[in-house]
Structure 1
């Protein structure tokens, strides 16, 4: 099973190695480490790990938390394969068929931020234009995960929580559309994830026009 772990720890020599040693004792194979931030004396990193069987998230938290100053912010499944470039692959497919630019974006963008599903909504018509196959049935749920559309269609990129969902909302440049990403496991979207998706969205909107 492949997991993403978000860990915050003091930004000092040896702290990253301590986290790696603990994960090793738990049987995890570290496939990738992504640096999200280095500010105010602390670091936030995402570890992508391969784990035999189904690990207990609470055990992972407890074992890592014994390291002084270390805090586990989230443990959740991921589909992103380390060493690949999903953003480049997405843009290649968009460029090959610009007429389906936004549909292609929604179908593939979740892997850029370890999200579970994505939708494009029209802020003018307050309706979903396209959704990924992983998205829930909105007709049955009575709306978009219980969030008012007005809260999702801010003119600025934003992140918010709704019940068990973590959401990212990005206005599509030059269109009355918003891209929404969601995950039900893991922490709130980090600004580094938001920035990455925003850069891809800007390029897709240019190609799509």
Structure 2
């Protein structure tokens, strides 16, 4: 299976080498390393590895804990194939999806962001879910307030979310991750850029309006 590890480590020569060495000894096959952040002597990396389905995740991080200055912020499953550009593929499909453009976007979000589910609902009360991905709960925990831009938060339940307004559509998008770390600002920025492109597509607003009429 594919796993993603979020690791904080000293931003100095040799630190990443010690991490990858420990992962190799544990039996992980490293497929991708992405630097999310660096500054003030620290770096945050997302490392994607192949890991045997039957092996416990605890064994994967055991060796990392012995490396001075290294902190494992989270280990969680991912379906995003390393070395690909999935958002480009998804945007290509959306341009030909017609009335299913919004559904295509929402269904792709968990894969793009190694999350658990996504949903979109109306901004007015009572909230109506327009579309939700597989594994979304029956009661989607939309926030009471709508941020002016995509914003990451952790709910009291421990669920990590990004809440993103879709003003032209009068909808709110919620992306959720229960397993793993909170959404990083780089992930929020990535979602923001995807939504900016999505909302410029001319057929999106018409398709959502027709879908809302059917739901109504």
Q: TM-score, normalised by structure 2?
A: 0.87
Please report how far the alpha carbon of residue 197 of structure 1 lies from its aligned counterpart in structure 2 after TM superposition. 1.2
Distance 2:160 2:75 in 1: 14
Rate the CA distance shift 1:41–1:182 in 2: closer, same or farther, 3 A: same
Provide the residue aligned with 2:212 in structure 1.
Answer: none
Distance 1:104 1:111 in 2: 12
Aligned residue among 124, 147, 152 for 1:154: 147
SS of the residue corresponding to residue 63 of structure 2 reads helix
Distance 1:189 1:98 in 2: 30
SS of the residue corresponding to residue 54 of structure 1 reads coil
SS of the residue corresponding to residue 90 of structure 2 reads helix
Distance 1:116 1:82 in 2: 18
Please report how far the alpha carbon of residue 68 of structure 1 lies from its aligned counterpart in structure 2 after TM superposition. 0.6
> What residue ranges of structure 1 are gaps of 5+ in the alignment?
none
Please report how far the alpha carbon of residue 173 of structure 1 lies from its aligned counterpart in structure 2 after TM superposition. 4.2
Q: Which has the larger radius of gyration?
A: 2
Q: Determine if the alignment matches structure 1 residue 203 to structure 2 residue 204.
A: no
Asked whether the equivalents of residues 142 and 174 of structure 2 are also in contact (C-alpha less than 8 Å), the reply is: no
Provide the residue aligned with 1:112 in structure 2.
Answer: 112
Superposition misfits of 4+ residues, deviation over 6 angstroms: none
Distance 1:188 1:55 in 2: 24
Provide the residue aligned with 2:5 in structure 1.
Answer: 5
Aligned residue among 183, 187, 196 for 1:189: 183
Provide the residue aligned with 1:179 in structure 2.
Answer: 173
Q: CA RMSD in A?
A: 1.5
Distance 2:103 2:47 in 1: 30
Q: Determine if the alignment matches structure 1 residue 129 to structure 2 residue 121.
A: no
SS of the residue corresponding to residue 188 of structure 1 reads coil
> What residue ranges of structure 2 are gaps of 5+ in the alignment?
206-216
Q: How does 1:36-51 map to 2 (within 5 A)?
A: 36-51=36-51
Asked whether the equivalents of residues 112 and 197 of structure 1 are also in contact (C-alpha less than 8 Å), the reply is: no
Distance 1:171 1:148 in 2: 11
